[in-house]
Structure 1
Amino acid sequence: MENYPFEMFAGSLVSSKVSHPLPYSIGDLFCLPNDLTVTHGLTDQIIGQQITSTPYKFNMHKSIKCKLICKRKYTQEQKELLYYLIDNHYKIRYYTDSLPAYVDVSTTEGVSQNIYGVDIGFREPPNIPHNLTANAHYISTHLNITVHLFKDFALGINYIMGISLIPISQPNPPPCTFDYPDSIENTTEFFWTYSINFDYVDEKPNDRWKLTVANSFTHSIKWAFIINVIIGVFLASLLFYIFFLQYIRQQSATASTVTGWKALRNDVFRPPSHPLIWSAFIAHGIHLVLVILSVIIPCVLHITSPANPSLLVNIGIWSYLVLSIAEGYLMQYIYASTGANTKKFTILKGSLYAHLSTFALFVLLDCTLTGKPMSTAFITVNKFFLIFIGCLISIFNGAIGSILCMVFHRFKGIADCSAFPREIKPQPFFSEEIKDLLVGFAIFLPLIPVFDLVVKLMWVPYAIWRLWIAILGSITASLLTASCLSMLTTYIRLTKEDYNWWWPSLKAPLMSSLFMFMRSLSPIMTKMDSTFIVPTISMIARSFLASLIFGISVSAVSGIASLFFVVYAFVNRQAPA
């Protein structure tokens, strides 16, 4: 372990002003090792980055005062690219031992704050006496690297607990005298160097993530998380105690006879149009929610992190495959609850619809992220073949879940629907659509406090370090809010003797994904650079996919919440005497 070499890896260059990441090797600006490795896997394309090896290497306990890694002479074209990167505040994200390196930007008032990513350089502001040229560009050519260790004396092992960086702009080769640097405009030759230091910390190996994310959970995010949770709990409690119980009492009073109660119940549970698609939509949405939680919760508990994207994607893939059994079980259960025929294996069609649509989304997303047209994107046949095999495995697991549901449950449907339904009162044209839009906007409102932060994940993946808990709280609040409002709209429909509630219970939450997508377009368009059209289209595609997954997930939870509410109101109660 003492002589084990460690290597720093660099992620994509990320900007806080423009919406597209750039590769570390762009323009041959930075030093590259002789044994260069660049990842091009599906994981990196999904999260919008690539990992590149760098010449920054070290051995445990072997400090380096100043080591030269390369010497660069930049052409005027390369300088123009450096000006662009510096003016747009591009950063380089470094990783070591599955941990992102951070820069401590603590203030003089004692407020500690870590940021992830090293500024490529800076532009000297005017009227500041730094002995530097005003409005000139300076590049950070030296990295002062501090490796934070924990010593396990029982095992004699050193654990890397964190990596902190200090970028310095200095003009000299080793031994690095750190004089005032020359600007890029006045220099053509640059020396890239680095130094290595070690220190010990008290955090245990189980808390290695806490050192990295320390003081990065900002005050505003804490309040956004608290506000979201309060809104969700308040709406859930208010709607349950007021509207639901009031509706039960009202129906009990109006149904004066057992015959009238049964007729009302049969009308309420008349099967929806296309019950198979409705069941598949609900089950697949619940499936996506569980997969998302299976990825987020390990990050909240600091079991893993975005610094290990391959592990996160593997968790998501295996969760998707395993939970396909539960999806098939739930799909069969809901399909039978609608009163549809369950003797034949028609439920397999629903599983086929759901997983093939997911396969198509992955194919389109990959083609969009790679920036290749559909005709040339299929060069990577192996990747699509693996996705297709995963789709087939999911369909097979869904069939197993459906069979298990049919074995352990014998369904007769919730109610025997009467031959002639009650007459449904005609609704004004577009009235329901306008209501659904308003309800969808109401569902979107609880997301606003943290949405501006969450949407940065479209082009600032390292920001997710300080957002996991806020994202989990936002998802919880949005699911609670959507479920309550969906049950409320179902309640309003039933009081108006409109028994077509199955599909409308999904419409309003699904509208919230439209608002989410429109909101995500605002920062993308404002930070769009016309010289990078393809990366911008990729960002829009990822925003659309995230909004679509959000809409499907929230709609599915809302739909099953409305189903349970109606079942509780009309089935799990005794008929009035």
Structure 2
Amino acid sequence: MISYVLSLLLLCSIGSAFYLPGVAPNDYIVGDSIPVLVNSLTPSGDYDLKSLIAYDYYHPNFDFCQPEDGPKQVSESLGSILFGDRIFTAPYKLKLLENQECVLLCAKTYSPKPSRFINRRIREHYVMNMIVDGLPVARVHKNSATGEEFYSSGFALGEIHDGTPYLNNHLNFEIEYHVTKSGKYRIVGVSVYPASKQSTVDDLGNPDCSSTVLISLDSDSATEVVYTYSVSWKESATPWATRWDKYLEVEDSKIHWFSIVNSSAIVVFLLGMVGVVLLRTLHKDISHYNELDLDSGSQEETGWKLVYGDVFRPPSHPLLLSVMLGSGAQLLLMGTTVIVFALMGLLSPSNRGSLPTVMLLVFALYAFFSGYVSARAYQIFQGENWKLVVILAPTLVPSCVFSVFVMLNFFLISKGSSGAVPFGTMVLIVFIWFLISVPLSCAGSYCGLKAKAYEAPVRVNQIPRQIPTQPTYLLLVPSILCAGILPFGSIFVELYFILSSLWMHKYYYMFGFLFLCFGILIATCAAVSILFVYFLLCAENYNWQWRSFMFSGGTAIYILIHSLIFWVTRASGFNFASAVLYFGYSFILAGLVFLLTGFVGFSASFIFVDRIYRAIKID
């Protein structure tokens, strides 16, 4: 029954639920001007990734044509800015149902330096990004399995033939429109077919686009380039509400379903093992132990029962573990909330930057739970420096992430990238951090410290018990590697699509699959941590707190390995700045996953340990 409900939710997420947030359609009449906007130039995802640096459309080296009154920047959301969008007005003049052929945009002369810059960007497969009526201008592809056409955002800056780069200086726009019942017109599709032409302009200013000779920028001398465009209109039966469907075509849906089936099998296997441990082994142990005469001294204490006097001993570095648990709880709640919102269609791709904006704001609002969990954990660990936990809960992890982010931003600034976050946006992030996140975290810490003290089911011995020699598979590194591979195995296929969308500047919207994978990840982390903690206690090792965190947190190690493999197989010719950006952001991602999965593993293990020691009778 649950699988049917989840399947229904998945179908809902793929349907027309994207337009819930109030994105209103624009109605036009014949002759109305259609606004055209330009966005940053980004590396293409259709080839091997050669760069991570995005550039403003009006970067001086590109020297593209500008509007008569100069380009004006369009206001953007916080998330849109963080993800590198830099949107400006464009010089293209489109009028509804007005076909245009070979319209002169402008003529430019490129000296050797910008020519070499543009040629390099062509070799790195950069694409130009434009927006018409809220829709990305796209290139058309065909689904290899179904033969259906779908759109891929952006179009090539140029093309390469026999090793020579050629600049696309002519654009053929094909705009699809839909006629409403009221007789108004709505834009439902915008595709472009770029071309390289050695066009000319006569004395009267009339361009000639009939040339079939490609234009290449000379790296040693000046090159004249004439920019032109054509526009054609095509009526479509596609209603406005489903105009994004072609942009969100799923090419590999079978792979996603295979991933879900594979992950489900891992979860069933792990839950089966945990079930055997809990329902058979542990149940028999506890029943047999409690049936013995406590006064006769005949208790047969072995394995995990031998360490009952040390199992609740506070861990080393309790402050650090408490703060990491709080941050992990905050990330878990944020991830769950955002995925549910996206699944319900509340984060529309037509509302640019809505997803990262909501993530940032929800993360700040959930700082209350970070403070509460950190303080509560520190109280359980019998920590005494409560002021320090109040200070570090909202500052330690965010300051580490923010420091790395600022360092990477300097690399973007040094390369003149549009992806560099402006100073004003940085100030806004700090404002959200200190005026929203920090006060909420302090309030949560206060509630956590005032909560009723935790009472352990058994007393802690004054003298720590000696830990015997551990088997190889329970040593620190082998155990973390063995435990971490199982949660990673449940998500690695979906992780590949997420990283591909992130690095290749594609839309990711398959939140139904993501919702299922996220739930499977949580279940796998809980199960694997419980299992390995049980093995650890059976080996008479009572230092389970940090281990339980790192067992499931070991997933982050494999995410780093996956990122390295992705870089080796899909990236080529990275310059130093792009390599630093790639691995810097990969480390941030792995660190956040480590905190989230570590919190899940510790929480499940804590409940498990508490329950089994409450179930036995200790004299």
Q: Compute the TM-score of the two structures, normalised by the length of structure 2.
A: 0.77
Alpha carbons of structure 1 residues 350 and 60: separation in structure 2 relative to 1, 3 Å = farther
Q: In structure 2, do the counterparts of structure 1 residues 476 and 67 end up closer, same or farther at CA, with 3 Å as the change threshold? A: farther
Which structure 2 residues correspond to residues 36-185 of structure 1 after superposition, within 5 A? 36-37=71-72, 43=79, 46-48=82-84, 50-106=86-142, 110-124=147-161, 136-150=164-178, 153=181, 159-172=186-199, 178-184=210-216
Residue 370 of structure 2 corresponds to residue 370 of structure 1: no
**Larger % of helix: which?**
1
In 2, the alpha carbon distance for the partners of 1:100 and 1:258 equals: 75
Alpha-carbon spacing, 1:118–1:435, altered in 2? closer, same or farther (3 Å): same
d(CA) in 2 for partners of 1:198, 1:379: 39
Contact 1:9 1:52 in 2 (8 A): yes
Matching of residue 20 in structure 1 with residue 52 in structure 2: yes
| 3-state DSSP of counterpart to 2:127 | strand
2:235 is paired with a residue whose SS is: strand
Alpha-carbon spacing, 1:445–1:328, altered in 2? closer, same or farther (3 Å) = same
Instruction: Decide whether aligned partners of structure 1 residues 88 and 80 sit closer, same or farther in structure 2, where only a CA change above 3 A counts.
Output: same
Are 1:513 and 1:548, in contact at CA under 8 Å, matched by a contact in 2?
yes
Partner SS state of residue 210, structure 1: coil
2:457 alignment counterpart: 415
- Bigger mean CA offset, 550-559 vs 74-83: 74-83
Letter in 2 for 1:291: M
Question: Are residue 193 (structure 1) and residue 229 (structure 2) matched?
Answer: yes
Is residue 483 of structure 2 the alignment partner of residue 455 of structure 1?
A: no
Any conservation in 2 of the 1:46–1:369 contact (CA below 8 Å)?
Answer: no
Match of 2:3 in 1: none
Deviation at 1:332, TM superposition (A): 4.0
Contact 1:10–1:54 (8 Å) recurs in 2: no
Q: 1:396 to 1:22 in 2, by over 3 A?
A: closer
Residue in 2 aligned with 1:212? 247
Asked if structure 2 preserves the Cα contact closer than 8 Å seen for 1:217 and 1:467, the reply is no
SS at structure 2 position matched to 1:28: coil
CA separation of 1:554/1:150 partners in 2, compared to 1, >3 Å: closer, same or farther?
A: farther
Displacement of 1:171: 4.3
Secondary structure in structure 2 of the residue aligned to 1:465? coil
- Counterparts in 2 of 1:152 and 1:566: CA distance versus 1, 3 Å: farther
Hey, what does 1:241 align to over in structure 2?
A: 275
Query: Which residue matches 1:545?
Result: 588
Note if contact 1:272-1:503 (Cα within 8 Å) is conserved in structure 2: yes
Distance in 2 between residues matched to 1:95 and 1:404, nearest whole Å? 48
Deviation of 1:288 after TM superposition, in Å, equals 1.2
Distance 1:257 1:59 in 2: 92
Alignment match, 1:254? 289
Paired amino acid for 1:415: P
Q: Secondary structure at the match of 1:212?
A: coil
Structure 1 distance, partners of 2:358, 2:546, is 32
Contact 1:143 1:193 in 2 (8 A): yes
Structure 2 residues not aligned, in runs of 5+: 1-26, 201-205, 415-419
After TM superposition, the structure 1 = structure 2 runs for residues 127-526 of structure 1, keeping only pairs within 5 Å, are 136-150=164-178, 153=181, 159-172=186-199, 178-184=210-216, 188-203=224-239, 205=241, 207-213=242-248, 215-219=249-253, 221-252=255-286, 253-255=288-290, 256=292, 267-305=310-348, 308-336=351-379, 338=380, 340=382, 346=386, 349-350=389-390, 352-371=392-411, 382-392=424-434, 393-404=436-447, 409-420=451-462, 423-427=465-469, 431-462=475-506, 464-465=507-508, 468-524=511-567
**Structure 1 residue 505: Cα displacement:** 0.6
CA distance 1:142–1:390, shift in 2 (3 Å)? same
- CA deviations on 1:127-164 (whole Å, 9 max, x unpaired) are xxxxxxx665443333333444455547x765544433
Q: Using a 3 Å threshold, how does the CA distance of structure 1 residues 276 and 107 change in structure 2: closer, same or farther?
A: closer
- How many corresponding residue pairs? 555
Structure 2 residue aligned with 1:7, among 22, 36, 39? Answer: 36
What SS is found at the alignment partner of 1:105?
A: strand
Structure 1 gaps of 5+ residues are 125-133
In angstroms, what is the RMSD of aligned CA positions? 3.9
Instruction: Tell me, in whole angstroms, the C-alpha distance in 1 between the residues paired with 2:293 and 2:175.
Output: 78
| One-letter amino acid of the counterpart of residue 73, structure 1 | T
**Taking structure 1 as the reference length, what is the TM-score of the superposition?**
0.82
Structure 1 residues 416, 410: closer, same or farther in 2, change over 3 A? same
Q: How many angstroms does 1:188 deviate by?
A: 3.7
Q: Distance in 2 between matches of 1:291 and 1:60?
A: 43
